[in-house]
Amino acid sequence: MNKLQTRLIISFTFVILVILCGVSTIFSILIIRFPQQERLTYLELNTQARSIITILRRLPNFVPSKVTRLTLLEDLSQRHEIRIAWATADHHIIFDSAHLWDTEPGFDLFAKLTPNVDQRWTGQIRDSGRIWLIVAHPTIEPTNARHFLILAKPITRPVLNTLMQLRETIATPLLQAGIIALTIGIMLSIAISRSIAKPLATISQAALALADGDYEVRVSTEGPQEIKDLTIIFNKMAQQIQASHQAQNDLVANVAHDLRTPLTSIQGYAQALLDGTADEPASRDQAAQTIYEESRRMQEMTKSLLDLARFQAGEIKLHLTAVDIIKLADVRIDFYQKQVHDAGLTLALHTTHKPIIVQADKERLIQVLDNLLNNAIANTRAGGKVTVAPTISDSWAKIAITDTGIGIPQNELPRIFERFYRGDKSRRGAGTGLGLSIVKEIITAHNGTIEVESIVGVGSKFTVSLPIDQPSIT
């Protein structure tokens, strides 16, 4: 009973039944109110009245004597089985074939009838336990006196008659039409409710499968538009859950893998120190140095991971201040001078601009520059060149970091901003593959963009764009 399909079918059937009942009730009321039989009787009475008036006119002198006329009316009444009466112009009844109205003093038949436009009177009155249909026709006699010829016919139990007539004529076809309509309606309601309930059931089964861990489940779009929309939304949701589940799996696998390597190395050297294998000062120094380097790498990685998680959770708040990116680049270049000199590289600032001020989080911007500079230095061979070029273009402040390094293959370019993505093994440094993901998060949080161009063997260019009129970032 609670099933949508059952409910829909019951509702449809109920609506159809209500409509059918309504239609038959209105029909019945209309027919009872204006019964055809009555209309026919009035017609018959009018015709008879006209022919009786013609008969009366044909009498010599129209009305030779009152007695003759009344006898004739009495005679016609018996012959045609109708009640006939005669009234004066002032509505006084002087003859009634039923001998009732003419004997009742003060009886005013016309008070109960309705005059028609041609001064005929028609109506119904209840008299001696019967309902009489009455027509009163005016007659003008040769003497110019006005009289009324009144014809009346009883109707017995009109409602019952009408209902019987109704049953015989209209009820059966109405019932047949009703049954056909009901059958078609129920069939249609089954079809419509199926088209709604079936896809809904499919979606709920798919949702159950998704909850049970089947992330590949998808639903085919069918049914009415609203159900199609729901299906599309469900599929999109399933796709996102699958992607985020995959990303989570990848993350765990990457973290586990990237932590195991330095841990194994730390463990190995610590073991050597403990069991005295690295007793020589030189090997002791190397062991300590490796333990220090590897633990620093692990610390960097956990810090980066934490940063990324906090960016994604929207927990990182930027502390915006006016930052001159030329000055900032200059300071960072100075910081790296010794490192690039040792590597046999040159690192220079290229700019023709005066200060370029942006509203930014200075520490985060340093993090971006450091990451990009570190990558450029690490991927450029001795003799190479790294340049930092801040410029202004429209309402954007841009910083381009260009190197003449090994470059990045075109097929890798779309992936380098992914977490843990590191170039192929031959080009891999000691990085974690998290640097560029963090850079992108920071730039995006500043409403900026980062683009990369690269040619293998020629070098790479990373361009960071930051809006100059930074709206307040929360």
Give the per-residue contact string, 85-114, with ligand ADP (x = CB under 6 A; - = no): ------------------------------
CB of 192 to ligand ADP, least distance (A): 55
Least distance between ligand ADP and beta carbon 431 (Å): 2
Q: How far is the CB of 405 from ligand ADP (least distance, A)?
A: 5
Site for ligand ADP in 222-281 (CB under 6 A): none
Q: What span, in angstroms and rounded, lies between the C-alpha atoms of 450 and 433?
A: 17
Query: Which single residue brings its beta carbon nearest to ligand ADP?
Result: 431
422 in contact with ligand ADP (CB under 6 A): yes
- Concatenating the DSSP letter of every residue in 139-161 gives EE-TT--EEEEEEEEEE-SHHHH
Mention every residue, 6+ apart, whose C-beta is less than 8 A from residue 100: 127, 128
Beta-carbon count within 10 A of 328 CB: 21
DSSP, residue by residue, 34-49: S-HHHHHHHHHHHHHH
Instruction: Choose the binding region for ligand ADP from 19-27, 153-161, 357-365, 402-410 (rule: CB under 6 A).
Output: 402-410
Give the shortest CB-242-to-ligand ADP separation in angstroms. 24
Q: What is the nearest approach in angstroms of ligand ADP to the Cβ of residue 201?
A: 46
Task: Name the token pair of 361.
Answer: 């989080």
Site for ligand ADP in 336-395 (CB under 6 A): 371, 375-376, 379
Residues paired with residue 95 on neighbouring β-strands, in sequence order: 86
Longest dimension (CA), the chain: 166
- Contact status, residue 73 vs residue 86, Cβ threshold 8 Å: yes
- Residue 432, interface with ligand ADP (CB under 6 A)? yes
Task: Determine how β-strand 385-393 pairs with β-strand 346-349.
Answer: parallel
**Looking at 435, 441, 443, 465, which residue binds ligand ADP (CB under 6 A)?**
435
Total residues interacting with ligand ADP, rule: CB under 6 A: 22
SS3 258: helix
Token couple for 393: 């273009």
Q: What angle do CA 224, 227, 228 make, to 5 degrees?
A: 85
CA distances from 189 to 18, 223, 263 (A): 15, 14, 68
Q: Does 217 bind ligand ADP (CB under 6 A)?
A: no
How far apart (Å, rounded) are the C-alpha atoms in residues 23 and 170?
12
Stretch that binds ligand ADP, among 142-150, 217-225, 236-244, 405-413 (CB under 6 A): 405-413
436 contributes a contact to ligand ADP by CB under 6 A: yes
421 counts as binding ligand ADP under rule CB under 6 A:
yes
Q: Considering the complex, state which of residue 164 and residue 430 has its C-beta at the smaller distance from ligand ADP.
A: 430
Using CB under 6 A as the binding rule, the residues of this chain from 135 to 164 that contact ligand ADP are none
Per CB under 6 A, residues contacting ligand ADP are 371, 375-376, 379, 403, 405-408, 416, 421-423, 427-428, 431-436, 460
